[in-house]
Each structure stands twice: as C-alpha cells, then as structure tokens.
Amino acid sequence: MNKDILTQDEIKKLKYLFAQLSSCGIKIEGGWAEISLGQNVNGENLKELLRTFGVKSEELDYSSFHNLVSFPIKKGDLAENTVIFPTLDSFWVKASSLDHELPYYIILDGGERVNNGMISFLMPEPIIKKINLFLKWSRLINNISRYSFYDKCIYYVPDKNNIKEVEIIIPSNNLSIIDEIVEINKINFDFVSELLNIIEVDDVMTSERQSILRVAISDFVDNKCVLTEIIEKDKQIYKRYKDLVDLYTKKFSIDKVLSEIESKYIEYTSKINDIISSTQNKAYAIPGALIAASALIKAGNLLIGSLVIIGLFMIFLITFVSNQSYKDSLDELNTSLEKSFKRFQILEKRTQIYKEAGDTSTKLSDKITKVKRRLILVNAMNFIMLIVGGIVLYFNNQDELYKIFFEKLSLS
C-alpha cells in the first residue's frame, strides 16, 4: 500500500484507528510500544489495523489477559511505508529522509510538546507544520544547488569579478533546531510553496529562475549559513526574488525591443539606399544632357538643334516623373516609419528604449529628407540643362529663327 496515496476507505480506517488509539493508554519504553486497551476497543481488531498501516513485526501481540497490544519499535519492525510512528523523532527521521511532507501519520508519543499525547494528520501540531516548512525549503534549496549532500548544499553566485560559494547547512539530525525556526503564528507556506512551483517548472527559463533565486537568497545570508536562517527570512527572500525577476524581465524586454529597433533601422536603411541607388542612376543623365547641349553649339542647322532639344526635354521629363515616383515612395516610407516608432513614444522619456527609438527615428527621417533634396537637385539640374540647351539653340540659330518668324508674319 502506498501510504502517500490512500483511498477514501483507507483514510476512513485510519481515522477509525486514531479514534480507537485515542481511548487507549500508550507507553513507549525499552524499545516497545504498549497499548492499554480502552473501553470498547477490540484487541484483535486493533492489532489488524496496526498491521495494515505499517507494523510488520511478527512480535505484534494482543494479550487478552493483560488487555494489552504490544509490538517492538526497533528498526525493521515497522514497514518502509508505515504511517505509524512511535515518537516524533522517528517521524522526523523518516520525513527528512524522504525530503517531502508525509500526508498521513499517527505519532503514538509526541513527547513533551504535546504532553506525551498522540499527534495525527487530522490535527497537525505546530511542530509538524514547522517540519513541513523545513522540508519544503530543504527541497527548494536542493533544487537550486550545484552539489547536494546529506547535511549541506552548495551553489555559486557571481560576486563582482569573482564567483562566491554559498554553503547551506541542513540540520536534518537536530529536531530542536527545527522547533526554533519561527513562532507558530508566523509560519507561512505561501512564500516557499510559490517559489517551489516556480523553480520546479521545467522549461527554457528554468536555469535563469534558479540563478535569480540563488542571488536573492545570497543577499540575506553569509557564505556559510544554516537553512533555518533562510526560513526566518522567507518574506524578504521572496520579495527580493520577485524584484530581481522583474528587473531581469525588463532587461530581457528592453534587449528584445532594442533588437527590434535595430532591425527596423536596417530595414528602412536598406529601402532608402535602394532609392538612393536609383536616383544616382538617374543623375547619370545630366552628363548626357551636357554633351547634348555641347552638340548644339556644333549643330549647323535648326532641325538638328531641335532634335537635340527634344532629346533634352525627354531626358528631363523621364527623370522628373521617375523622381516624383521616388518622392512618393519616400513619403510612404516616412509615414510607415512614424507608425513603426510611434508605439515606443508611450514610454517614459528617461528609458533607454525611448532614447534609442527616438535617435533611430531621427536618423532615418534625416536620411529620407536628404534623399528628397537630392531628387529636387537632380530635377533642377536636368531642367537647367534643358534651359541652357534652348538658349544655345536660340543664339546658334538666331538668323534662321527670325527668318521663320517673319515669314509667318507676312503670311498672316
């Protein structure tokens, strides 16, 4: 029978056993447990119940003459999974060896703490609560330790430029130390229970949570301490852990957002550079226009000069329309940029993210403005070349132009 998991029927029988024992006189002495049967307690029935719940000794005996049930309590007389414990010390030895709470138990002699009365799972005594609190913390420390031994745990935490070793003593052989942990009205399982739930989750962040808890504990204890010192400062340790996790989460979030900002910067820079590259290609039309203007000087007649002017006009028109398209793309890019970085502006002005986002947004806006100016310059230069070509054509063919002009006037 697994005594950590009992059926409802078994729990009912265990409660019945406790009720039967409560009406009996119990004496633990000389390595034996002697149970003087109370009124209406059936010896054979009690004997079977004791065997069911962990007394396996062949010397378990019921004497009707003495109205007594007795059994030895030496090592091996009780089953490994027994819920019957002769003394509080035997319960403590068993619980500390398992390193977890025992949900079901009957302690025949609780010692001076309960006036040598019984202790059961039905109404846990303060000392049991302290033991359970100790066991929870012990399990937690074991989970975050680098090395775990029977009576101590060791882990390491960063300490400026060095690594600090922290050694935590586990007083598993001294129940009196456990009894002095905290006042009963100050016992709180919430802190250690939540920390255990957090640390025992197995995911990609497990090692980070363990590291943070190590640091949180180390902030309140010396390099070598006793587990009870940690338990007494459970509230401070819990709050410190939460603060450190909050800092870590914010740093992780900041790094992630900064990475996103950097990615946005690269993305927008790439788009701007593509437009710059295209405008540079269009700027190559300017030397061509200059060559065409030079050809006008050598052109001997109006027809050839007119063809050159038409070519210059087409260069100007194509470049202007193309650059206008680039300008529209830059306007759209700027709008997209504002939307992308607007969500970072809700942060406080002191934050690193706000500053980084603002600087990046400004850099990209400046780049877009410079590209727009370059487009205007390219358009202006092409227009100037067209005007220069017209002027050269006029002065180079002035007589012929006057002749054509006056012939038209005479015809009209």
User: Do 104 and 121 contact (CB within 8 A), yes or no?
Assistant: yes
User: Do 144 and 214 contact (CB within 8 A), yes or no?
Assistant: yes
Rounded CA gap, 194 and 245, in Å?
14
- pLDDT band at residue 268 under the 50/70/90 scheme: low
pLDDT of 148-188, one tens digit each? Answer: 887 889 999 887 777 888 999 888 767 777 777 766 667 78
Q: Phi/psi class of residue 116: alpha, beta or left (left: φ > 0; alpha: ψ in -120 to 50)?
A: left
| Overall pTM surpassing 0.75 (yes/no) | no
pLDDT of 329-378, one tens digit each? Answer: 767 777 776 666 665 554 444 455 566 666 777 777 787 788 778 778 77
The pLDDT of residue 388 is: 74
198 against 179, higher pLDDT? 198
- pLDDT band at residue 21 under the 50/70/90 scheme: very high
296 against 377, higher pLDDT? 377
Which residue has 């992630």 as its token pair? Answer: 256
Give start and end residues of each alpha helix (H) in 77-125: 88-98
The pLDDT of residue 52 is: 92
What are the two backbone dihedrals, phi and then psi, of residue 358, each rounded to the nearest 5 degrees? -65, -45
Residue 369's CB: how many other CB atoms inside 10 A? Answer: 12
Q: Phi/psi class of residue 47: alpha, beta or left (left: φ > 0; alpha: ψ in -120 to 50)?
A: alpha
**237-243 CB contacts, 8 Å cutoff, 24+ apart:** 237/191, 238/191, 238/194, 238/195, 240/216, 241/195, 241/212, 241/213, 241/216
154: which residues sit within 8 A by CB, 6+ positions away? 145, 146, 147, 148, 165, 166, 167, 168
Question: What percentage of the chain carries pLDDT values higher than 70?
Answer: 70
Mean pLDDT of 285-310: 60
